[in-house]
Structure 1
Amino acid sequence: MSITKYAYGIFLLVAALLVSVIDTSWKGTVLCWFLVMIGILSCFIGRYSKSFWLKNWLNRYF
């Protein structure tokens, strides 16, 4: 199993953890949940898809 499949998701989940520690206001909470949802979606895409259009788009631009 390659860690690169989950790199986007792991990065976003770590960013969400940092945001939740640094910013405890409601804006920080909203940003944290947004990053968590996008991170889980990125892990799902990295795990279950080989030719999914969003994965190809992410690889092209990021």
Structure 2
Amino acid sequence: MDTKIKQLEQELLNTRLSLEQAEVILLNLIRLDNQTGDNFLLPHEDVIVTQKSAIRLLQSSQI
């Protein structure tokens, strides 16, 4: 029973991480659409999350 709970907790954590990463990627894409200027700003933390998301996607595609 305890093992099942830990497994469910891990699945919940992974799901939350995936949702957070998707949100950051979408926000970054929105920020890239700067029609009023020649530049855009992305918070450093969002860049790190995007990089980790890309690595996670690449790793999962190799399974």
TM-score (norm 2): 0.40
More helix by share: 1
Greater gyration radius: 2
Q: Which has the higher contact order (CA 8 A, sep 6+)?
A: 1
